[in-house]
């Protein structure tokens, strides 16, 4: 009735889990944010989405070099960004490249 989609696209293969390599402090050099599991910390490398969306994310504190924590991944992603929670859909998450940080 209102034009809402019943199913959300899942552009990220959720079965892929990076593994730690001997001598490498992070599971991978860089990966999509959606690959990271809840409880992980990551540093943002790049944001590839429409300019309006990227500008909005940067104004909310999600910019290149920012450290984020993944809180929840059940329906989209809930991130901890500088003490605030930010919920993102899978389309936006697919355009964010991060480096996982080992804690």
Residue pLDDT, tens place only, 22-52: 444 444 588 999 999 999 999 999 999 999 9
Which residues span the domain enclosing 37?
A: 31-101
**pLDDT, tens only, 41-85:** 999 999 999 999 999 999 999 999 999 999 999 989 999 999 999
18 found inside a domain: no
**How many structural domains comprise the chain?**
1
User: DSSP label at 12?
Assistant: S
62 found inside a domain: yes
User: DSSP label at 83?
Assistant: T
78 found inside a domain: yes
8 Å CB contact between 78 and 85: yes
8 Å CB contact between 98 and 32: yes
CATH of the domain at 90: 2.30.30.90
77 found inside a domain: yes
72 found inside a domain: yes
């Amino acid at each position: 009735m209102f034009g809402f989609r019943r199913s959300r696209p899942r552009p990220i293969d959720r079965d892929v889990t990076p593994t730690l390599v001997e001598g490498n402090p992070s599971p991978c050099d860089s990966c999509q944010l959606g690959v990271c599991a809840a409880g992980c910390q990551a540093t943002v490398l790049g944001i590839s989405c429409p300019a309006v969306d990227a500008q909005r994310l940067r104004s909310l504190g999600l910019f290149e070099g920012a450290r984020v924590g993944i809180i929840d991944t059940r329906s989209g992603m809930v991130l901890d960004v500088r003490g605030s929670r930010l919920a993102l859909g899978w389309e936006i998450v697919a355009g964010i490249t991060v480096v996982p940080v080992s804690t």
